[in-house]
C-alpha cells in the first residue's frame, strides 16, 4: 500500500523525506465501529461505539502520541541522528508514548509525580519504557524536572549525537492530526443512511452522523475530530469541483464532556477566555488538564462551518454509571473519563433504573471474568431494565442537540484508558448502590 502524508494517514506506513530515509510503521490501528442495541434503546437514537480502547496502548492516545513521534522522525533535521523521547505523563499519554516509541524502535523515558499509582508505573515498565522516574507532587513539577534535569544528563558527552525530544500530552498540532485519522475512519465505517445511495456523499451533511460524543481533558481529541470534519468538507468540495466550499444544511454536533472537577473547558467557555482550574478534584484524573489548549477553546466558541460544539459537565457518579453500563452491556472496561460519555447519551434513563433497582436485592453470578462485576438473572440491573420507561428520559445529548430521534446517528468515542481495574469498578458499583450521586 502506498505511503501518504500524516494529515491523511489511513494506511499502514508513513514515508520520511528525503527518499533515502527509512519508512516507519504507523503505531496505531484502525479501530472497529459497532452499533449498541442496548444503548440505542435507552438513548432513543442509534448509538455507535468507536472502540479506541482496542488501540495498542489501550486508548486513543496511540494516535496522538504516535503521530507526534512520527512528526519528529519526519523532521529532516533529525535524519541520521540517535533519538530519545521523553514524556511527563504517567497516564494514558505516557503509556501511548512508550508503546509507540518501542514499536518504531526508539527509547522513551517517562517522568511521573510521586503519587502515581504503582499500577501505572508497572504498566509503563512492562510496555518497554527506557526508565520510569518519580518526582514532584504534580505533573507540572514532573515535567519541569524532566526538562531541566533528566533530559540534560549526559549532554556534554552526547552533544550533537543524540536528539532528546520532549512530548506534550495534548497541545501539539501533530497530536491533533493523529487524532483526526479517527474521523477519516468514520467516513468509511458509518453505514449509509436508509434510502440513500450507499456511495453517495449525503449532500445535506459533511458526515452522515448527527452527533459525536467525546470526553475533553486538554482538548487534543476534540481538536483532531473537528480538524477531520474540516478536511472532509474540503475533500467533498474538491471532488465536486466546487469553486467555493459547499454549504451544508445539517451540522455535525460535538458534545464535549467533562467531569465536575476537571471542567476546564466549561469554565473557559463560561468566561469566554482560557481559565486555569486551581486543582483537579474529580476521580477522572485522565481528564485532569487544568487548562485546555487555545485551539480547543477557539473551536468551542467559534467552530468552523458545518460544526457545532456543546460543552457539558457530569458528575463522577455519572461517569461510574457509564463505566458499569459498558461492562454489563458491552463487556468493555474503561476509565471514568470514558464512561462519562455514555451517560451524556443515556442520561436520566439510568437514574430511573437506579430508583427501581433499589427495591430489589442483587444476586451476583459470573460475568466478565469476575462475579463481583456482572449481574445475573433476576439481579437489580435486569429487574430495572424490565421496568425502565419505554420512552427514554432527558439526556445531555437531547438537551444540547436539537431533533435527536430514533433514526439519528450518534457516535460515542470509547477513548479507553488503562488506569482502571475490576476492583475499582466493583467499588463504584457498591458506592452507587449506597446512593453515590443521588444527591445531585
Whether residue 6 is predicted with pLDDT greater than 90 in this model: the reply is: no
In this predicted model, which residue has the larger pLDDT, 198 or 119? Answer: 119
Whether residue 5 is predicted with pLDDT greater than 50 in this model: the reply is: no
Which candidate, 257, 405, 425, places its Cα nearest to that of 331? 425
pLDDT per residue as tens digits for the range 97-139: 999 999 999 999 999 888 888 888 999 999 999 999 999 887 7
Which candidate, 253, 224, 254, 217, places its Cα nearest to that of 416? 217
Report the relative pairing of strands 46-51 and 33-36 from DSSP bridges. Answer: antiparallel
Cell of 75: 523532521
Strands in 3-134 per DSSP E: 13-15, 23-25, 33-36, 46-51, 82-87, 108-112, 131-134
Residue whose C-alpha cell reads 449509509 in the numeric block: 192
Domain boundaries, the chain: 33-59+171-190+206-235+250-353+394-434, 60-166
Q: Taking residues 403-414, report their average pLDDT.
A: 95
* Identical topology for domains 33-59+171-190+206-235+250-353+394-434 and 60-166: yes
pLDDT per residue as tens digits for the range 202-223: 567 889 999 999 999 999 999 9
Cβ(409)–Cβ(190) under 8 Å? Answer: yes
Distance CA 84, CA 429 (A): 42
List, in order, residues 6 or more apart from 121 with CB less than 8 Å away.
Answer: 90, 112, 132, 134
CATH architecture of 60-166: 3-Layer(aba) Sandwich (3.40)
pLDDT band (50, 70, 90) for residue 195:
low
pLDDT band (50, 70, 90) for residue 242:
very low
| Secondary structure (DSSP) of 408-430 | -EEEEEE-B-SS--HHHHHHHHH
List, in order, residues 6 or more apart from 205 with CB less than 8 Å away.
Answer: 248, 249, 250, 251, 252, 306
CB burial class (10 A; 0-12, 13-18, 19+) of residue 423? exposed
Whether residue 244 is predicted with pLDDT greater than 50 in this model: the reply is: no
| pLDDT given for residue 235 in this prediction | 87
| pLDDT given for residue 14 in this prediction | 43
State the CB neighbour count (10 A cutoff) for residue 289.
Answer: 24
What mean pLDDT is reported for the chain? 83
pLDDT per residue as tens digits for the range 132-168: 999 988 777 888 999 999 998 876 555 667 899 999 8
pLDDT band (50, 70, 90) for residue 197:
low
Share of the chain above pLDDT 90, in %: 61
Which candidate, 80, 102, 62, places its Cα nearest to that of 163? 80
Report the relative pairing of strands 162-167 and 82-87 from DSSP bridges. Answer: parallel
| pLDDT given for residue 203 in this prediction | 60
Cβ(134)–Cβ(106) under 8 Å? Answer: no
18-27, 213-222, 236-245, 303-312: lowest mean pLDDT where? 236-245
Share of the chain above pLDDT 70, in %: 78
> Degrees (nearest 5) of the Cα angle 237, 238, 241?
90
Instruction: Kindly report the CATH number that applies to the domain delimited by 33-59+171-190+206-235+250-353+394-434.
Output: 3.40.50.1100
Amino acid at each position: 500500500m502506498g505511503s501518504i502524508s500524516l494529515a491523511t494517514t489511513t494506511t499502514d506506513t508513513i514515508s520520511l523525506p528525503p527518499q533515502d530515509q527509512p519508512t516507519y510503521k504507523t503505531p496505531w490501528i484502525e479501530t472497529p465501529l459497532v452499533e449498541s442495541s442496548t444503548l440505542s434503546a435507552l438513548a432513543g437514537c442509534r448509538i455507535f461505539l468507536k472502540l479506541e480502547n482496542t488501540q495498542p496502548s489501550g486508548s486513543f492516545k496511540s494516535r496522538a502520541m504516535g503521530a507526534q513521534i512520527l512528526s519528529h522522525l519526519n523532521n529532516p533535521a533529525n535524519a541520521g541522528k540517535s533519538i530519545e523521547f521523553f514524556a511527563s505523563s504517567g497516564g494514558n499519554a505516557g503509556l501511548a508514548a512508550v508503546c509507540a516509541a518501542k514499536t518504531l524502535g526508539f527509547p522513551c523515558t517517562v517522568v511521573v509525580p510521586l503519587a502515581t499509582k504503582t499500577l501505572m508505573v508497572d504498566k509503563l515498565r512492562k510496555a518497554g519504557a527506557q526508565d520510569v522516574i518519580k518526582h514532584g507532587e504534580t505533573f507540572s513539577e514532573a515535567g519541569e524536572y524532566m526538562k531541566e534535569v533528566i533530559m540534560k544528563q549526559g549532554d556534554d558527552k552526547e552533544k550533537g549525537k543524540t536528539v532528546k525530544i520532549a512530548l506534550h500530552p495534548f497541545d501539539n498540532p501533530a497530536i491533533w492530526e493523529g487524532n483526526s485519522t479517527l474521523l477519516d475512519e468514520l467516513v468509511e465505517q458509518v453505514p449509509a443512511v436508509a434510502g440513500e445511495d450507499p456511495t453517495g456523499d449525503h449532500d445535506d451533511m459533511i458526515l452522515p452522523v448527527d452527533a459525536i460524543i467525546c470526553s475533553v481533558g486538554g482538548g487534543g481529541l476534540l481538536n483532531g475530530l473537528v480538524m477531520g470534519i474540516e478536511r472532509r468538507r474540503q475533500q467533498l468540495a474538491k471532488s465536486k469541483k466546487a469553486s467555493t466550499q459547499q454549504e451544508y444544511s445539517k451540522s455535525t454536533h460535538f458534545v464535549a464532556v467533562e467531569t465536575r472537577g476537571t471542567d476546564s473547558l466549561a469554565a473557559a467557555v463560561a468566561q469566554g477566555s482560557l481559565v486555569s482550574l486551581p486543582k483537579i478534584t474529580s476521580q477522572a484524573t485522565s481528564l485532569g488538564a487544568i487548562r485546555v489548549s487555545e485551539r480547543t477553546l477557539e473551536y468551542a466558541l467559534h467552530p468552523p462551518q458545518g460544526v457545532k460544539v456543546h460543552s457539558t459537565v457530569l458528575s463522577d457518579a455519572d461517569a461510574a454509571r457509564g463505566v458499569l453500563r459498558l461492562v454489563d452491556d458491552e463487556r468493555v472496561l474503561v476509565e471514568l473519563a470514558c464512561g462519562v460519555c455514555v451517560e451524556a447519551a443515556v442520561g436520566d434513563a439510568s437514574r430511573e433504573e437506579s430508583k427501581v433497582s433499589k427495591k430489589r436485592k442483587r444476586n451476583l453470578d459470573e460475568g466478565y471474568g469476575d462475579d463481583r462485576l456482572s449481574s445475573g438473572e433476576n439481579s437489580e440491573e435486569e429487574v430495572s431494565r424490565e421496568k425502565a420507561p419505554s420512552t427514554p428520559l432527558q439526556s445531555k445529548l437531547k438537551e444540547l442537540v436539537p431533533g435527536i430521534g430514533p433514526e439519528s446517528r450518534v457516535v460515542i468515542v470509547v477513548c479507553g484508558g488503562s488506569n482502571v481495574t475490576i476492583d475499582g469498578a466493583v467499588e463504584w458499583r457498591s458506592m452507587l448502590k449506597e446512593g453515590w450521586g443521588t444527591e445531585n
